[in-house]
Structure 1
């Protein structure tokens, strides 16, 4: 049975497993039943695995019968605290929990990849690691660093690591990959402005926290418009404002929360420094007390050019020469970035838009759907990518991995 036939043989099981995970979503830090299901499926497939990484993480291990390099493949397994609004037969059975980012598909596809590769062990020169990672949505902590801290790669160190993410902006069968920045750094901030309250008719007796907040918001937007090179990328978004009591009361406290997105480290540092100076300046000019918390989140997801090119080559083999359209990077944050800080590799998008694109909702939307036809393509691509990468490692560094 050739590779394509092996992949086809797991298609129904992958779709069924994806629907199971979709019906039983678990948010970051609570993926206990998800982890048990993954372990159960790996056991049934005869794939050795280890646990104890970031509480619910699982590492599947497929050792080829020939010596060689080590390739890690990662899938995130957590859901989001969102109430699903779809009406398909396998919608979430848990209130305010939904796989609205496609992690159910990632997990099911990686299992399918593992099942296929395990049947190809006699042909594999090296080791393939199946990394089932929890807490990807738990920014800025995440699960990738916790898995590494817990020794997920202590025994087998990856030569290359890949991550795959379904992407509703691309049609099924398309693959988006870039040689460098793929996803942005995602920082968070919280500003607590403390003025003094009073009667709305006598504002001179108070220090209006809402007026201070308005000034703060205006100045913060100048970081992008007047401090960032127009050829670079940066976003400062205030996503939440909380303050005030009623129409005739001067507010004594306002809380602002938001996010900062960048690609380049130097731009991130500039934004952070400018942010701090604006907060200090507003605090002095309004004689208020302002508490400022800036949380460094996931770093930018930066691909290794060599392995990003390998994604393209493998995609062209099985999906065609037109399968890798030109794409622009996203400022969305991704915990896979921390793996790429330690190991060479690439993160890429798997097109998964539904056939009726008028019904396509974005990631993190309560109505998000994906095209299940993309699942088998994702399995085949990741299998081909693992095989091709092991062959490339052996070709470029023969004899380097003669023993485990």
Structure 2
């Protein structure tokens, strides 16, 4: 497919992946909340946690799509803008606090930089660790950063911003900087968030076969919740209790024996709906009007959804082909009983030959509809899984389409 230059410019930027990374991390941490804890999304930081003891965790998230020759994500370097911008933002917030309260503020917070970038001989991390442990003084630490600052060349926005980010650390008071660095942590090479979330879901002791569905449900619920909060001008801030209330049912469902129903609502309907065998018979016995396309589409949807459902259950190992075959045979036996009952007086009328052709035809159609009406009230069960009325009806429509059953007395000859 050819993409024009304008389309390349206006299409979604790869930077949007960074927002996805941020949201998936939010979901990952939200699913890990403990009673009494809360999590915020772009409230006090990219993501922040409020713990039960009053301490908080501020998280800056930085994602990169750049890779090295060996296909690994690039390293976070000494002059990485993502690194220094995070340090700058945190210190900017610290400096907004009353000076005599800054140490208390820092002591209640853990500052975490999370990135998928890797670490390979980054001198900044070594120096920061040394300063945190007291191996070097604040003066030595600042001297190192000042040398880094002075080594930045050029006068472009990127260079100027990087210098600005470093300057706030260099100018920070020694005791404040020392406390800040002690509360500073880095999580590098943090990737594959989808797998991490799925592993988290699996740890809740759910049926592994339902993993994909539960993952999609959790992502969907939290995405909608985030969207609704932002749209209403509210903070995206949620507690363990709120999370528990919102998605508990997903995990309850994941632990019970109910079969998954993770089919999409949109079904591709076939062309010439009226030409389907099962529809032809419903039209012939006057259950359907050939012009009522909405109703015809509705019945066709019941049939297709049921067929797709059975196929998905077999693929996901909820059913075997033998289970399906036994189910079909039971449905045919059930239909057969209704068919015999509905057409008992049809056979009698045929044997006695007392009705004219038009009256007999009307009686046969009437009894065919009786059989159909009886079958439509049946709730089927498959391997202990109860089917709803649409799925049950869809089963019989499918059998009719494949000439396994019919409604007229001579359905086999006709269809």
> What TM-score does the superposition give when structure 2 sets the normalisation length?
0.24
- Return the index of the structure with the highest Cα Rg: 2
> What TM-score does the superposition give when structure 1 sets the normalisation length?
0.24
Larger helix fraction of residues: 2
